[in-house]
Amino acid sequence: MTTLQDCRALDAQDPLRELRTLFTLPPGVIYLDGNSLGVMPAAAPARVAAAVTQEWGDGLIRSWNSAGWFTLPQRLGDKIAQLVGARPGEVVATDSTSINLYKVLSAALSIAAQDAPQRKVIVSERSNFPTDLYIAEALCQERGYQLQLLEPEGVTAALTPDVAVLMLTHVNYRTGAMHDMAAVTAAAHEAGVLMVWDLAHSAGAVPVDLNGAGADFSIGCGYKYLNGGPGAPAFVWVHPRHADRFWQPLAGWWGHAAPFEFTPGYRPATGISRYLCGTQPILSMTALECGLDTLLAAAPLGGMAALRAKSLALTDLFMALVEARCGGHGLALVTPRDAARRGSQVCLSRQTGAYAIIQALIARGVIGDFRAGDPPGPANGTPPMPDILRFGFTPLYLGFEDVWNAVEHLREVLDTGEWQRPEFNQKHAVT
């Protein structure tokens, strides 16, 4: 069995270990929540301060040109493109994941309505992140479609001739299970269905090849594995074969072909720029660029493939240590063990106490998070999923000794019953 000494040896040999210096982590914290909010890049405070004092304070309105503010969505988009298998000019950083999903889903429905008007169904996964389902539900109401929700194994079999769009999140936020993007996209196209991928838990976490898979639309999140800061802008990618076919519904002036002509009629920009809407949050964009640069700094060290190899080694170690050292406490592994079928997080379920165990860990400086299980009752034949303890692993700033220490804290919290203390059993507004 792996020992603490083994973990230290693994850290000493780790070619990516120097990347940790690109981040500012509070002392004493083992951060296992980069899947929810990435750690602050060390460069961010000075970069954002310069954007405030020099670009805004001194440059004022001139900075739209002189500091390159106006082209930030495209410039950051080109950096994101390198992480998701897209080409330069195919991605923009903008708005939130929810808003970008509304845009691409609407465009996908417009394309389907023209090519195959009898198709009136959007298929997704029952356990998809709720905002994705809410946005789809709203669009279905608006445009007379139906949303059909299935278990992950059942989605491709459900692609009947009435289905217009398959909308999936590549890595499930609760279980960490990952779809085979190429195979699912191929199955969708075989069935005449357009494919929308949400990369919220994939971009910066696992290698992604949107063009290789031939996907149709994709969106993703800036503040999770991309380390862009709280509320960082998200991103949107549309395959070039679709980019110019329809207006997206939020046809604001930043998506206009010539916004500074101030003409009354809308004329969409060509390509992905038409997926912009209005004026961007420049300070947030500035912080997002610092986050993207931490990932691009891994490129000379092997890039996403090297990050993925380390992420799998970290998550394998975590699963093995939890099994060996935290047995008999009712924890069950929810994340698939097969490396090809999981992202960069490990989720454990427990019938009771999951929330309090996470709170007790946080009090010890081990920050993971809690996600509520399914409501009780026979929802759809499958038994409801219990509450979940979720641990995200970011190879940019985590090492093997961190994994060892995190499991030791978990073991102590369970062995001593520390989690049962009343202060760990009070729910906060944000879990």
Instruction: Please say which residue, 69 or 173, places its beta carbon nearer to ligand PLP.
Output: 173
Binding segment (CB under 6 A) for ligand PLP, from list 94-102, 202-210, 268-276, 418-426? 94-102
**Candidate list 31, 390, 400, 424, residue with the active-site label:** 390
User: Which of 20, 103, 201, 350 is in the footprint of ligand PLP by CB under 6 A?
Assistant: 201
Tokens of 128: 């998809």
| Distance, first Cα to last Cα, the chain | 34
Q: Is residue 97 close enough to count as binding ligand PLP by CB under 6 A?
A: yes
Binding segment (CB under 6 A) for ligand PLP, from list 113-121, 198-206, 240-248, 254-262? 198-206
Q: Is residue 109 close enough to count as binding ligand PLP by CB under 6 A?
A: no
User: Which of 63, 169, 227, 286 is in the footprint of ligand PLP by CB under 6 A?
Assistant: 169
Instruction: Please say which residue, 145 or 173, places its beta carbon nearer to ligand PLP.
Output: 173
Amino acid type, 303: G
Tokens of 28: 């004493």
User: Which of 17, 25, 29, 98 is in the footprint of ligand PLP by CB under 6 A?
Assistant: 98
Helices 400-416, 4-13: axis angle to 10 degrees equals 150
Q: Is residue 96 close enough to count as binding ligand PLP by CB under 6 A?
A: yes
Q: Which of 35, 191, 171, 199 is nearest to 101 (CA)?
A: 199
Whether 145 is catalytic: no
Which H or E run includes 162? none
- Asked if 248 and 106 touch (Cβ cutoff 8 Å), the reply is yes
User: Which of 129, 217, 393, 397 is in the footprint of ligand PLP by CB under 6 A?
Assistant: 129
User: Residue 167 CB, nearest distance to ligand PLP (Å)?
Assistant: 10
Instruction: Please say which residue, 219 or 331, places its beta carbon nearer to ligand PLP.
Output: 219
Q: Please state, as a whole number, how many other Cβ atoms lie within 10 Å of the Cβ of residue 327.
A: 11
- Asked if 196 and 102 touch (Cβ cutoff 8 Å), the reply is no
Q: Is residue 131 close enough to count as binding ligand PLP by CB under 6 A?
A: yes
CB-based contacts of 61, cutoff 8 Å, min separation 6 = none
User: Which of 93, 200, 287, 361 is in the footprint of ligand PLP by CB under 6 A?
Assistant: 200
**What is the DSSP pairing of strand 30-31 with strand 366-367?**
parallel
Q: Is residue 210 close enough to count as binding ligand PLP by CB under 6 A?
A: no
Q: Is residue 202 close enough to count as binding ligand PLP by CB under 6 A?
A: no
Q: Is residue 225 close enough to count as binding ligand PLP by CB under 6 A?
A: no
Q: What are phi and psi of 258, to 5 degrees?
A: -145, 75
Q: Is residue 132 close enough to count as binding ligand PLP by CB under 6 A?
A: yes
Buried b (16+ CB within 10 A) or exposed e, 289-299: bbbbbbbebbe
CB-based contacts of 320, cutoff 8 Å, min separation 6 = 1, 2
User: Residue 202 CB, nearest distance to ligand PLP (Å)?
Assistant: 10
Whether 224 is catalytic: yes
Whether 209 is catalytic: no
Q: Binding string, 54-93, against ligand PLP, x = CB under 6 A? A: ----------------------------------------
Give CA separation, 422 vs 349, 360, 366, in Å.
21, 10, 19
User: Which of 51, 221, 288, 298 is in the footprint of ligand PLP by CB under 6 A?
Assistant: 221
Instruction: Please say which residue, 36 or 63, places its beta carbon nearer to ligand PLP.
Output: 36
- Asked if 41 and 291 touch (Cβ cutoff 8 Å), the reply is yes
User: Residue 67 CB, nearest distance to ligand PLP (Å)?
Assistant: 26
Instruction: Please say which residue, 43 or 99, places its beta carbon nearer to ligand PLP.
Output: 99
Whether 198 is catalytic: yes
Q: Please state, as a whole number, how many other Cβ atoms lie within 10 Å of the Cβ of residue 142.
A: 12
Give CA separation, 91 vs 80, 214, 238, 390, in Å.
7, 15, 7, 30
User: Residue 184 CB, nearest distance to ligand PLP (Å)?
Assistant: 16
Whether 246 is catalytic: no
Angle at 71 (CA atoms; ends 66, 76), nearest 5 degrees: 120
Q: Is residue 369 close enough to count as binding ligand PLP by CB under 6 A?
A: no
CB-based contacts of 178, cutoff 8 Å, min separation 6 = 170, 171, 172, 202, 206, 336, 340, 341, 342, 343
Amino acid type, 69: W
User: Which of 145, 173, 400, 424 is in the footprint of ligand PLP by CB under 6 A?
Assistant: 173
User: Residue 34 CB, nearest distance to ligand PLP (Å)?
Assistant: 12
Q: Which residues form the interface with ligand PLP (CB under 6 A)? A: 96-98, 129, 131-132, 169, 173, 198, 200-201, 221, 234
Catalytic (active-site) positions:
129, 198, 223-224, 390
